[in-house]
């Protein structure tokens, strides 16, 4: 009997992991996937091949670019890209795009 009392209030690891995945990870992954898909649609294929989203957090979309010339191109159109991303994926609450040269 004393052994059963020891487990009161204990949460099973599989239940806790499922709850974490369902409440935190899947919604974030869904948003990330939506942004990534829209990002690739907005960019010409030539430019999209030279950049990738590295992070989305705190309203900041971080994008790694592998070439200074493509970085320049993206900077020129970043305001328009931001507007399109905000309209197409408002749940992501992106406020700024940060372009990083790799």
pLDDT tens sequence across 16-72: 787 877 777 777 777 888 999 999 999 999 999 999 999 999 999 999 999 999 999
Cα 74 to Cα 51: distance, rounded to the nearest angstrom: 9
pLDDT at 42: 95
- C-alpha closest to that of 42 among 73, 4, 12: 73
**Domain ranges within the chain, ordered by starting residue:** 12-101
| 74 pLDDT above the threshold of 80 | yes
Residue 95 pLDDT grade (very low, low, confident, very high; cuts 50, 70, 90) = very high
Three-class secondary structure of residue 53 per DSSP: strand
pLDDT at 14: 83
Domain 12-101 CATH assignment equals 3.30.300.130: yes
Which class for 53: exposed (0-12), middle (13-18), buried (19 or more C-beta within 10 A)? middle
Cα 29 to Cα 6: distance, rounded to the nearest angstrom: 37
Three-class secondary structure of residue 3 per DSSP: helix
Contacts of 94 (CB under 8 A, 6+ apart): 35, 56, 59, 60, 61, 82, 85, 86
């Amino acid at each position: 009997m004393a052994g059963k009392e020891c487990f009161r209030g204990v949460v099973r690891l599989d239940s806790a992991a499922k709850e974490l995945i369902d409440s935190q990870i899947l919604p974030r992954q869904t948003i990330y996937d939506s942004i990534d898909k829209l990002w690739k649609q907005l960019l010409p294929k030539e430019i999209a091949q030279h950049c990738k989203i590295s992070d989305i957090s705190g309203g900041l979309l971080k994008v790694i670019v592998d070439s200074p010339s493509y970085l320049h191109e993206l900077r020129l159109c970043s305001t328009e890209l931001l507007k399109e991303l905000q309209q197409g994926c408002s749940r992501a609450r992106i406020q700024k795009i940060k372009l990083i040269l790799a």
